[in-house]
Structure 1
Amino acid sequence: MCGLFFVLMTCMMCASAFRLQQVKSTENCSDHTVFFKHYYELHGEPVVLKCPSPRYKHLEFSALTPNITWYKNGSKTMISGRNEDSRIWAKGDTLWFLPAILEDSGVYVCTRRNSTYCAEVSIHLTIVEKTAAQEIAYLQVLFTFTSGKIVCPDLWDFTPNSTSLELKWYKDAVPVEENNEKFVVLKGSTSLIMTSVLPTDAGYYTCKMSFPFEGVIYEITRTIHLETVEQEKRITPIIVYPTRKTTSAALGSKMTLPCKVFIGLSSHAYTDVEWLANDTAIDRVYKQSRVREGERQEIVENGENFIEVPLVFDSVKEVDFYTDFTCLAQNIYGYQVLPTRVKQEAVGLSWYIAMIPVALACVIVAGIYIHKCWRRRADKGYTAARV
Structure 2
Amino acid sequence: MKAPIPNLILLYATLTQSLKVVTKRGSADGCTDWSVDYKKYQVLVGEPVRIKCALFYGYIRANYSLAQSAGLSLMWYKSSGPGDFEEPIAFDGTRMSKEEDSIWFRPTVVQDSGLYACVIRNSTYCMKVSISLTVGENDTGLCYNSKMKYFEKAELSKSKEISCPEIEDFLFPFREPEILWYKECKSKTWRSSIVFKKDALVIREVREDDIGNYTCELKYGFFVVRRTTELTVTAPLTDKPPKLLHPLETKLTIQETQLGGSANLTCRAFFGYSGDVSPLIYWMKGEKFIEDLDDSRVWESDIRVLKEHLGEQEVSISLILDSVEEADLGNYSCYVENGNGRRHASILLHKRAV
TM-score by length of 1: 0.48
Equivalent residues of 1:177, 1:183 under 8 A apart:
no
Structure 1 residue 146 corresponds to structure 2 residue 158: yes
Indicate the SS of the match to 1:157.
helix
Structure 1 residue 133 corresponds to structure 2 residue 183: no
Alignment match, 2:48: 46
Structure 1 residue 72 corresponds to structure 2 residue 78: yes
* CA-to-aligned-CA distance 1:243-271 (integer Å, 9 cap, x gap): xxxxxxxxxxxxxxxxxxxxxxx9xxxx9
Relative to 1, partners in 2 of residues 1:60 and 1:234: Cα closer, same or farther, differing over 3 Å?
farther
Aligned ranges for residues 1-387 of structure 1 at < 5 Å?
26-27=28-29, 29-56=31-58, 59-62=59-62, 65-66=67-68, 67-73=73-79, 74-80=85-91, 83=93, 86-114=94-122, 116-131=124-139, 133-161=145-173, 163-177=175-189, 180-186=191-197, 189-212=198-221, 217-232=222-237, 332=339
For 1:181, the aligned partner's letter is S
* CA-to-aligned-CA distance 1:172-206 (integer Å, 9 cap, x gap): 1222335x5132112xx110011111122111110
Relative to 1, partners in 2 of residues 1:47 and 1:147: Cα closer, same or farther, differing over 3 Å?
same
Equivalent residues of 1:142, 1:228 under 8 A apart:
yes
Relative to 1, partners in 2 of residues 1:115 and 1:230: Cα closer, same or farther, differing over 3 Å?
farther
For 1:203, the aligned partner's letter is G
Indicate the SS of the match to 1:35.
strand
Equivalent residues of 1:65, 1:113 under 8 A apart:
no
Equivalent residues of 1:45, 1:220 under 8 A apart:
yes
More helix per residue: 1
Indicate the SS of the match to 2:206.
coil
Equivalent residues of 1:171, 1:204 under 8 A apart:
yes
Identical positions, percent: 31
Number of equivalences: 206
Partners of 2:173 and 2:90 lie apart in 1 by 28
Which of structures 1 and 2 has the bigger CA Rg? 2
Q: RCO (CA 8 Å, sep 6+): is it higher in 1 or 2? A: 1
What displacement does 1:232 show?
Answer: 1.7
For 1:43, the aligned partner's letter is V
For 2:187, the aligned partner's letter is P
Relative to 1, partners in 2 of residues 1:176 and 1:112: Cα closer, same or farther, differing over 3 Å?
farther
Partners of 1:234 and 1:124 lie apart in 2 by 42
Partners of 2:167 and 2:96 lie apart in 1 by 19
Indicate the SS of the match to 1:130.
coil
What displacement does 1:53 show?
Answer: 4.7
Greater Cα shift, 114-123 or 165-174: 114-123
Partners of 1:26 and 1:155 lie apart in 2 by 35
Equivalent residues of 2:43, 2:135 under 8 A apart:
yes
Partners of 1:225 and 1:171 lie apart in 2 by 10
Relative to 1, partners in 2 of residues 1:332 and 1:93: Cα closer, same or farther, differing over 3 Å?
farther
Equivalent residues of 2:214, 2:230 under 8 A apart:
yes
What displacement does 1:60 show?
Answer: 3.8
What displacement does 1:72 show?
Answer: 0.9
Partners of 2:120 and 2:41 lie apart in 1 by 20
Relative to 1, partners in 2 of residues 1:108 and 1:194: Cα closer, same or farther, differing over 3 Å?
same
Indicate the SS of the match to 1:232.
coil
Equivalent residues of 1:70, 1:79 under 8 A apart:
no
Equivalent residues of 1:181, 1:195 under 8 A apart:
no
For 2:98, the aligned partner's letter is A
* CA-to-aligned-CA distance 1:320-359 (integer Å, 9 cap, x gap): xxxxxxxxxxx9479xxxxxxxxxxxxxxxxxxxxxxxxx
The root-mean-square deviation of aligned C-alpha atoms, in Å, is 3.1
Partners of 1:161 and 1:75 lie apart in 2 by 37
For 2:153, the aligned partner's letter is V
What displacement does 1:75 show?
Answer: 3.8
TM-score by length of 2: 0.52
Equivalent residues of 1:53, 1:61 under 8 A apart:
no
Alignment match, 2:264: none
Alignment match, 2:306: none
Relative to 1, partners in 2 of residues 1:120 and 1:98: Cα closer, same or farther, differing over 3 Å?
same
Alignment match, 2:328: none
